[in-house]
Structure 1
Amino acid sequence: MPFISQIQRQTDYGLFPSTTPIVIDNGASYFRIGWAGENEPRVVFRNIVQRPRHKSTGETVTVVGDHDAALLKYFDCTRSAPRSPFDSNVVYQFEIMEYILDFGFDRLGANGSEIDHPVLITECVCNPVYSRSKMAELLFETYGVPSVAFGVDAAFSYKYNQQLGICTNDGLAISPGFTTTHVIPFVDGEPVYKGSCRTNIGGYHVTDYFKQLLSLKYPHHMTRFTWEKVEDLKMEHCYVAPDYALEAQLFQKGTKEAEDKTRCWQLPWVPPVVEEGPSEEELARRAAIKERQGQRLREMAEAKRSSRINELENELRGLAFLLKQLEQVGEEDIPSFLADTGYASKQEIESAHAKATQSLRKAKGEPKAEQVESDEKIDLSADEKFSLLSVPDNMLSAEQLKEKRRLNFLKTTTEGRQRAKQKRMEEELERERKNREDEERRLANPVLYLEELHVKYKELSEKVEQRKRLKTNGGNTNGNNLSGGVGRGERLNAAQRERMRLLTTAAFDRGKGEDTFGARDEDWQLYKLMSKDNDDDDDEHDPEEVELTRISSRLQEIDPTFIPKVESGTSQQVVEVPKFRPLTKEDFQVLLGVERFRCPEILFNPNLVGIDQAGMDEMAGVSIRRLSCDSKDVEDRLTRSILITGGSCLFPGISERLEAGIRMIRPCGSPIRVLRASDPVLDAWHGASMYASALQFPSQTFTRTDYYEKGEDWLRRYQVRYSL
């Protein structure tokens, strides 16, 4: 089956004799395989398998261990997640285990499926017989291995460090692994499994907890927190606190020491490109281009205007010529003359002449006919036009009465329009006069002018607010209404109360007998009074508010510190915050503070992640108590040599924290010595390699013949001796 991997295949497999054992450290995190007697394993990879399909061909490939992201982009990995053969450090998925063994033997250089070398493979403490028998069946029947030996990884690590002189013959081996943590007591150089202890907590849970905390703290960077990157951050920055509660209080107070212990991980960030403003030469060049374009547009407009003027002048000359000829034509020849010109009547030609004249004046930019002259014409002809209005009605016929009413309405409308126009002109002149006077006063004494404007603005704003309060509350300011509430009459203004009075009077007058409201002209006069709008209701034409608005705009022009008051009853002005802001370098920084010691703390307090089991220090006390019944002095012998091994014991401060925890549960004065393995990650393989290279190793294995003859019961009683 095809493999995708960057691990190079070994080429010296045939140089080793068939008696040389193959050593396999089958850990839940990494798979290590090599030859007995060597210092380092030949092949090391992650103990996971993934089987994606090719996007174009649909072929299924097997990805074992760490994958290459550059190659996997051609495969569909959505329906194939990485899978591990382990469940709590016990192998239970032997189909996946077969892929891993195939890949391991292939990278070691084995040709074919037959393996003619003895195999030493590690397992967990008190491995179930079913898992051991399935592993033996896989090695014997699939690969044809001549003999197999099973050993505990933590025991091999302890014996290897004993050979180095780090630990003694009696002691404890504490192995915080990938998914579990084991404690194995050693007495006279041999592990005592009845005193061993196990907790389902390990480096996997530490990394997963660390990943959750970072994802909750920085949800916008969740895609950055991949498993591999979080694993690297954990091994680089995490540590075990000597006292978890005191360390947490230190970060809670935000002291200088806490800031020194905070680490920063800078994510990739590219600063946005800052566009520099154009130079003076560029601005001058753009201005010159704009000026040339404007000049060209002006020339085009002038040419178009000249052409239009010529057309209108020619048209006017033609119309004038027609009118001159029409005067010389007799009455009987006018229809035939007009038929040749295309006009229906003389009035149409005059109308076209007047329209062309007006268009020519507009094209030349000349002012229209003076409005004064038109007004004078209207005034001169007013007597003639509205002469019918001075005639009494009894002297007019029905048609003349109807025309008189129409002329009366027309005259009233015309006069009202002229009065409104005159009023607007007067207001505009008055406004210009006030602005001119204000400007003269400001230029004469700017400071005094600004102070006067502020004082006037304050006075006017108070008057307007007071009037609005009176209009709303009805002038109830005597303090009798202590609750602040007002009645219906107090909420009405003066005009509304007048309407209510008129309605009440009309209701009392018409309340008895037949309702004849509207039959008389006086009733409609009352209706007009009730529907009349009071000038006080129209806030838009209030002179004080108009003046207040003018002063406010004037203050905003000359005083940049001026802030106009917000009217009562309206919502405060909300300053719009921009929805987006440019991202800075600080937005791509991940600060690691309390997470540095909070995540490894679950090795001592698994209840932080919801696992109700004992921590490492409590497990050591449990193992010691289980062996204390055999001998009283065994407790001191065990605590004199406590070896911690495994990948999760690389956190700084774990030895001191473990020693302090064990000292809390041991009697005062007990000898306690916590040691770390020389290489916590590879010492299990080193010890297994040293054990398999011994001359007595073949006597510790069982052969394929023994497997077929003795079966599973013999595997149940099988146990290697670590002191050869």
Structure 2
Amino acid sequence: MPFISQIERQTDYKSFPSSCPIVIDNGGSYFRIGWAGECDPRVIFRNIVQRPRHKSTGETVSVVGDHDTGLLKYFDCTRSGPRSAFDNNVVYQFEIMEYILDFGFDRLGVDGHGVDHPVLITECPCNPVSSRCRMAELLFESYGVPSVAFGVDAAFSYTYNQRLGICDKEGLAVCSGFNTSHVIPFVEGEPVFEACCRSNVGGYHVTDYMKQLLSLKYPQHMAFLTWEKVEDLKMEHCYIAQDYSSEVKLFQNKTKEAEEKTRCWQLPFTPAPVEEQPSAEEIARKAAYKEKQGQRLREMAESKRASRINELENELRGLDFLLRQVEKVDDDSVPEFLSDTGYLSKQEIESSISKVNQSLRRTKREQVELEEKAEAATAEKFPLVDVPDNMLTPEQLKEKKKQIFLKTTAEGRQRARQKRAEEELQREKHNQLEEEKRLENPEAYLEQLRTKYKGLLEKVEQKKLLKSNGNNSNGNPTSGGVGRGERMNAAKKERMRLLTTAAFDRGKGEDTFGARDEDWQLYKLMSKDNDDDDEGPDEDEAELIRISSRLQDIDPTFTAKPESGLRQTADVPRSRTLTQEDFQISMAVERFRCPEILFNPNIVGIDQSGLDEMVGVSLRRFSPQGKGLEEKLTSSILLTGGSSQFSGLSDRLEAGVRMIRPCGTPIRVIRASDPIYDAWRGASSYAASLHFPQQTFTKMDYEEKGEDWLRTYKFRYSL
């Protein structure tokens, strides 16, 4: 289960005497601080610091731990992620460490006058002297601590379980923590750091690997896969496989046992609301409302049409009146009379009258045939078209050009309508003949269509092959040539020919290209869009499309080939309603694949030893005279640390150690009573004993003896 932070500020600080030590378990994942002699620490929080900016003011603040999620919603944490003071379980960022110690002492109840209690703080095995020196300097100078003692967390956990009778005086402590894993031998209750072994693999790497696998498997749910949630999933569902290869094959074969070992995490899901079928009264009400709206729209359209008819009739009466006035005026005075009306001649007025009549009839919904006949009749009224130009005035010449344009346009529209009518008539006749043939002999007709479709398909594919490869000189389009000429299509080959011709015509003399008008025709030929890929479908492709459509109508078993070049619409994926299963994260292989890196770090690209190999390395570092001692060590192997809580770890480690030890060697792997808190409890019980003041050193000792004395400083764990 996940660890819960405890950050309530303590109020009984002054009730403890100054001789009572403060115990700090400075772990890579959690920071634990409390009083010596107590069973549990008072304050627990994540050993991280964030420095986000306030969203409104932009002010930067320091947030220790991740306890107050309600407060962090007012800050922008995108540019400042959580930072740790550790690098592979060694403290090296003492600015961050100072923030963490400030918060820890403040939660313990320390006021601003400093810490007047001895401090026992844990560190990693074989901690560098520079890190230990900086930590002592920080505690002495910043907090005024009277005396300090350093001890290894795994050693405190081993001695605590030794007093409980779980392990012996001689044994091995296998501590798998957040950043690193250690194997420490113990002889007569004291750790032998000269024979210890370390690997830079821990719970952080397991969580990070699991987060990567789940993010790749469910990229749509990455917002839910936060670090804290993946950490909880790891502690709740992961386990160590006894045989990794056979376990993987079990899930590859999708056996029933694999299904039983699969776990699902249900994400928040709100089903879509089910639409209830409307009642008969509701349907009738909507139909009545729709009819009412339709009637309203029809009335609005009718009113608009009446208004438009009124406008056109008024315009038509005005034009008729103007035409009658023009007829009373002499021909020479017509331009002067029409100067203020916007018209140039009598013919233009008549053309406007004709257009207004057409619009009026169209608005009154008269028959289309009458309109076309009227348009054809008015199109013949072009009196100036056949008159010679020398008999016309300049104004009449302009009018003649306009009449020629109008006549040409009218004739073009008439020809287009006639052509469309003829094509439609021909298409109807062809379809009627096709239907008669089909009714006479359906099987023969269907077989004929299939044969024709196959022939046209081969022809179209042959043409496309020629277009893609170019027209070969040997007439074999499928010869498979790879020359440049065969890779170019017809348009590119034509452009290349024109350029080559121009180059040879120019010769080796003076460049006179462009002196003749014929030279510039080359650019026109080259700029033509002769690319066959841009041309529309030819007659064969159009006929192929028609036959394919006909076969699809009469033959349910027919399927057009995709390579036939037909315009086929792609199947648009239909959206479906999301269900509860779409919001489930399934954990199958990830349950044992992620913690497997504790035994095989090369899975995540770390070239180091696993836990079982580390035990063998630590045992080989003893002298040959200690073979009997090695048997005592393997008979008491204690698992401690946060990453030692995976189920199956004890059996897997015992099997791994048995494979590297001689046959008959006594091997016993046991787990600590509480792998998380045993380190702090062991340090707390030791700090409460009478021997603890002998293991501390004061600020005066530090200033007199210096850093070299810290190099030889050794904490004794046996009381």
Asked if Structure 1 and Structure 2 have the same fold, meaning a TM-score greater than 0.5 normalized by the shorter chain, the answer is yes
- Stretch deviating more after TM superposition (578-587 or 683-692): 578-587
Residues 632, 277 of structure 1: alpha-carbon distance in 2 compared, 3 angstrom cutoff = same
What residue in structure 2 maps to residue 130 of structure 1?
Answer: 130
Residues 454, 294 of structure 1: alpha-carbon distance in 2 compared, 3 angstrom cutoff = farther
State yes or no: 1:285 paired with 2:277.
no
What is the distance in 1 between the residues matched to 2:542 and 2:704?
113
Residues 361, 675 of structure 1: alpha-carbon distance in 2 compared, 3 angstrom cutoff = closer
What is the distance in 2 between the residues matched to 1:567 and 1:714?
85
Q: 2:32·2:41 contact (CA, 8 Å) conserved in 1? A: yes
What residue in structure 2 maps to residue 207 of structure 1?
Answer: 207
Any idea what SS the aligned residue of 2:185 has? Answer: strand
What residue in structure 1 maps to residue 446 of structure 2?
Answer: 454
What residue in structure 1 maps to residue 299 of structure 2?
Answer: 296
Q: 1:24·1:120 contact (CA, 8 Å) conserved in 2? A: yes
Q: 1:6·1:68 contact (CA, 8 Å) conserved in 2? A: no
Residues 216, 311 of structure 1: alpha-carbon distance in 2 compared, 3 angstrom cutoff = closer
Point out where structure 2 has 5 or more consecutive residues left out of the alignment. Answer: 380-385, 387-409, 466-474, 481-535
**Deviations 1:175-201 (CA, angstroms, capped at 9, x unpaired):** 111112111222222222222222222
Q: Return the offset for 1:20.
A: 1.5
**Aligned match for 2:714, one of 713, 716, 719:** 719
What residue in structure 1 maps to residue 492 of structure 2?
Answer: none
What is the distance in 2 between the residues matched to 1:83 and 1:330?
100
Pairs aligned (count):
621
User: Which amino acid is 1:284 matched to?
Assistant: A
What is the distance in 2 between the residues matched to 1:12 and 1:302?
92
Q: Return the offset for 1:599.
A: 1.9
Q: Return the offset for 1:668.
A: 1.1
State yes or no: 1:662 paired with 2:657.
yes
What is the distance in 2 between the residues matched to 1:416 and 1:59?
77
Mapping 1:144-183, distance limit 5 Å: 144-183=144-183
What residue in structure 1 maps to residue 366 of structure 2?
Answer: 365
Q: Return the offset for 1:203.
A: 1.4
- Stretch deviating more after TM superposition (586-595 or 43-52): 586-595
What is the distance in 2 between the residues matched to 1:111 and 1:87?
31
Any idea what SS the aligned residue of 1:633 has? Answer: helix
Mapping 1:697-708, distance limit 5 Å: 697-708=692-703
Q: Return the offset for 1:696.
A: 2.8
State yes or no: 1:680 paired with 2:681.
no
Residues 182, 317 of structure 1: alpha-carbon distance in 2 compared, 3 angstrom cutoff = closer
User: What is the percentage of aligned positions where both structures have the same residue?
Assistant: 62
What residue in structure 2 maps to residue 247 of structure 1?
Answer: 247
Q: 1:309·1:364 contact (CA, 8 Å) conserved in 2? A: no
Residues 311, 143 of structure 1: alpha-carbon distance in 2 compared, 3 angstrom cutoff = closer
What residue in structure 2 maps to residue 393 of structure 1?
Answer: none
**Deviations 1:484-526 (CA, angstroms, capped at 9, x unpaired):** 779xxxxxxxxxxxxxxxxxxxxxxxxxxxxxxxxxxxxxxxx
Residues 374, 482 of structure 1: alpha-carbon distance in 2 compared, 3 angstrom cutoff = closer
What is the distance in 2 between the residues matched to 1:149 and 1:367?
108
Q: 2:437·2:445 contact (CA, 8 Å) conserved in 1? A: no
Q: Return the offset for 1:648.
A: 0.6
Any idea what SS the aligned residue of 2:166 has? Answer: coil
What is the distance in 2 between the residues matched to 1:143 and 1:415?
104
Q: 1:313·1:360 contact (CA, 8 Å) conserved in 2? A: no
**Aligned match for 2:602, one of 603, 607, 618:** 607
Q: Return the offset for 1:456.
A: 4.9
Q: 1:453·1:551 contact (CA, 8 Å) conserved in 2? A: no
Q: 2:241·2:247 contact (CA, 8 Å) conserved in 1? A: yes
User: Which amino acid is 1:652 matched to?
Assistant: S
User: Which amino acid is 2:158 matched to?
Assistant: Y
Residues 642, 80 of structure 1: alpha-carbon distance in 2 compared, 3 angstrom cutoff = same
Q: Return the offset for 1:462.
A: 5.7
CA RMSD in angstroms, aligned pairs only? 5.0
Q: 1:23·1:692 contact (CA, 8 Å) conserved in 2? A: yes
What is the distance in 1 between the residues matched to 2:329 and 2:572?
83
What residue in structure 2 maps to residue 262 of structure 1?
Answer: 262
User: Which amino acid is 1:148 matched to?
Assistant: V
Q: 1:319·1:353 contact (CA, 8 Å) conserved in 2? A: no
Q: Return the offset for 1:681.
A: 0.4
**Deviations 1:589-643 (CA, angstroms, capped at 9, x unpaired):** 4332322222212211223333332221122122223335343321221111111
**Deviations 1:275-329 (CA, angstroms, capped at 9, x unpaired):** 6787633652354134313541464266447747975997899799x79xx9xx9
Residues 552, 183 of structure 1: alpha-carbon distance in 2 compared, 3 angstrom cutoff = closer
What residue in structure 2 maps to residue 401 of structure 1?
Answer: none
Residues 87, 284 of structure 1: alpha-carbon distance in 2 compared, 3 angstrom cutoff = same
Any idea what SS the aligned residue of 1:627 has? Answer: coil
Q: Return the offset for 1:663.
A: 0.5
Q: 1:316·1:356 contact (CA, 8 Å) conserved in 2? A: no
What residue in structure 1 maps to residue 620 of structure 2?
Answer: 625
What is the distance in 2 between the residues matched to 1:207 and 1:32?
21
Residues 705, 586 of structure 1: alpha-carbon distance in 2 compared, 3 angstrom cutoff = same
Q: 1:157·1:687 contact (CA, 8 Å) conserved in 2? A: yes
User: Which amino acid is 1:285 matched to?
Assistant: A
TM-score normalised over the length of structure 2 = 0.71
Q: Return the offset for 1:360.
A: 7.1
What residue in structure 2 maps to residue 502 of structure 1?
Answer: none
Any idea what SS the aligned residue of 1:631 has? Answer: helix
User: Which amino acid is 2:449 matched to?
Assistant: Y
Residues 597, 302 of structure 1: alpha-carbon distance in 2 compared, 3 angstrom cutoff = closer
Mapping 1:422-433, distance limit 5 Å: none
User: Which amino acid is 2:209 matched to?
Assistant: Y
Q: 1:24·1:121 contact (CA, 8 Å) conserved in 2? A: yes
State yes or no: 1:595 paired with 2:590.
yes
What residue in structure 2 maps to residue 505 of structure 1?
Answer: none
- Higher-Rg structure is 1
Point out where structure 1 has 5 or more consecutive residues left out of the alignment. Answer: 379-385, 387-413, 474-480, 487-538
Q: 1:32·1:41 contact (CA, 8 Å) conserved in 2? A: yes
Residues 112, 557 of structure 1: alpha-carbon distance in 2 compared, 3 angstrom cutoff = same
User: Which amino acid is 1:661 matched to?
Assistant: G
Residues 283, 33 of structure 1: alpha-carbon distance in 2 compared, 3 angstrom cutoff = same
Q: Return the offset for 1:133.
A: 2.6
Q: Return the offset for 1:216.
A: 3.6
- Stretch deviating more after TM superposition (289-298 or 237-246): 289-298
What is the distance in 2 between the residues matched to 1:57 and 1:225?
30
Q: 1:185·1:196 contact (CA, 8 Å) conserved in 2? A: yes
Mapping 1:106-505, distance limit 5 Å: 106-271=106-271, 280-281=283-284, 283-297=286-300, 299-300=302-303, 303-304=306-307, 307=310, 363=364, 365=366, 451=443, 454-458=446-450, 460-461=452-453
**Deviations 1:352-371 (CA, angstroms, capped at 9, x unpaired):** 99888877766472676799
Q: Return the offset for 1:246.
A: 1.9
Any idea what SS the aligned residue of 1:622 has? Answer: helix
Q: 1:457·1:548 contact (CA, 8 Å) conserved in 2? A: no
User: Which amino acid is 2:85 matched to?
Assistant: P
Q: Return the offset for 1:13.
A: 0.6
Q: Return the offset for 1:344.
A: 11
- Stretch deviating more after TM superposition (133-142 or 579-588): 579-588
Q: Return the offset for 1:134.
A: 2.5
User: Which amino acid is 1:365 matched to?
Assistant: E
Any idea what SS the aligned residue of 2:17 has? Answer: coil
Q: Return the offset for 1:688.
A: 0.9
User: Which amino acid is 2:684 matched to?
Assistant: S
What residue in structure 2 maps to residue 521 of structure 1?
Answer: none
What is the distance in 2 between the residues matched to 1:145 and 1:352?
107
Residues 575, 692 of structure 1: alpha-carbon distance in 2 compared, 3 angstrom cutoff = same
**Deviations 1:627-669 (CA, angstroms, capped at 9, x unpaired):** 3534332122111111110001011111000000110111111
Any idea what SS the aligned residue of 2:663 has? Answer: coil
